[in-house]
Amino acid sequence: MNPNWFQGTADAVRQYLWLFEEAMAAGVEDFVILSGDHLYRMNYGTFVEAHRKAGADITVAALPCDPKRASSFGVMKIDDTGRIVDFAEKPKGDALKAMEVDTTVLGLDAERAKEMPFIASMGIYVAKASSLRDLLLKEFPDALDFGGEVIPGATKKGMKVQAHLFDGYWEDIGTIESFFNANLGLCGNDPKFTFYDRDAPIYTQSRFLPPSKILDASVDNSIIGDGCLVKAGATIKHSVVGLRSCIGEKAVVEDALIMGCDFYETQNQARQGSRVPLGVGDNSVVRRVILDKNARIGKNVQLVNKENVQEANRESEGIIIKDGIIVVCKDTTIPDGTIV
């Protein structure tokens, strides 16, 4: 097995192809290949069924897009059967115009098809087992990426590569900004994506923690995880507060994503170790911030990006600013009175 880190999606699958071979020996005919940094809800059974019905070597999940959004993705062109005939990576101008398709072919209604005449690859695939093995070992043994190399290569070689429409919420959360926005997008009365779908709910891992306790505090349009303590006078607005978090007295948490803690710690334990307690300290303000696991924010701290910095690497202090969002790294301690 290759000791090196994965260099791309195709490389990742190739490094573990021995596991696929074992499954194939047991009779598995198709593999579903998914990304780990997307947020969506899909019925994979329908996806696989469409793939088999079409007799495809590979089927690519396709997201209908308007021109503005399409230019940020790998865009596919299809024929009148839904077979992919061309790819373009983040096309613009005339190159984008050339990739227009009739998305009613994939099942989109006529009105929405006019608004969204492009289909983008979601990086989600169903592949025939034998085709996948041949593509990775024989046809493209050095290819690192599915979307940029293997899928377009398979199309050019005349293999049957089909598109399958996914007309629902989907976000790539592979950047700090998209991860931040997708999480905070869960808050509010009418989110585009929700965990509470009656037909397909999404559950968190069961940790058997106590219920969260909120004292004389204000919580608005927010999600509070298990085992949290929100102290008197605290204000939480449009934020996600992860498990075991402690929000101090008169602290303000606004437009923030707090990842929570891996363990509990009493105030006495923190003092004995001469450490700032876990969580957000009394009278502190965190706004447009991501706090990674086990962060310790002292008292009277202001993490508000006072100077509106867009990019900064202060990793020695445990702080990174990306797209104007302050990220406090895992296990970082921010001393009392700090202003960022």
- Residues 84-117 have pLDDT tens digits of 999 888 889 999 999 999 999 999 999 999 999 9
What are 29-67's pLDDT values in tens digits? 999 999 888 999 999 999 999 999 999 999 999 999 998
Two domains, one topology: 9-172 and 178-334: no
CA–CA distances in Å: residue 306 to residues 36, 286, 323: 34, 11, 14
Helix (H) or strand (E) holding 92: none
| pLDDT value for 6 | 79
Host H or E run for residue 12: helix 9-15
Secondary structure (3-state) at 147: helix
The stretch 14-21 carries a mean pLDDT of: 90
Distance (Å, whole) CA 161 – CA 1: 29
Average pLDDT over all residues of the chain:
92
What mean pLDDT comes out for the span 187-206? 86
CATH 2.160.10.10 fits 178-334, yes or no: yes
pLDDT of residue 274: 76
Distance, CA of 330 to CA of 296 (rounded, Å) = 9
Give domain limits for the chain.
Answer: 9-172, 178-334
According to CATH, what is the number of the domain 9-172? Answer: 3.90.550.10
Nearest residue to 129 (alpha-carbon basis) of 26, 38, 261: 26
Task: Supply the pLDDT for residue 162.
Answer: 95
pTM of the model: 0.86
The pLDDT confidence band at residue 130, using thresholds 50, 70 and 90, is very high
What pLDDT sits at residue 148?
85
Confidence of residue 299 (pLDDT cuts 50, 70, 90): very high
Question: Which pLDDT does position 68 carry in this prediction?
Answer: 87
Which residues are CB-contacts of 254 (< 8 A; sequence separation ≥ 6)?
Answer: 235, 236, 237, 238, 239, 285, 286, 287, 288
List C-alpha distances in Å: 170 to 2, 113, 166. Answer: 32, 18, 9
Backbone torsions φ then ψ of 266, nearest 5 degrees: -80, 160
Q: What percent of the chain has pLDDT over 90?
A: 74
Percentage of the chain surpassing pLDDT 70? 99
The pLDDT value recorded for residue 1 is 52
| pLDDT band at residue 3 using 50, 70 and 90 as cut-offs | low
pLDDT interval class at 187 (50, 70, 90): very high
Digit-coded pLDDT (tens) for 210-232: 999 999 999 999 999 999 999 99
Q: What is the pLDDT of residue 204?
A: 82
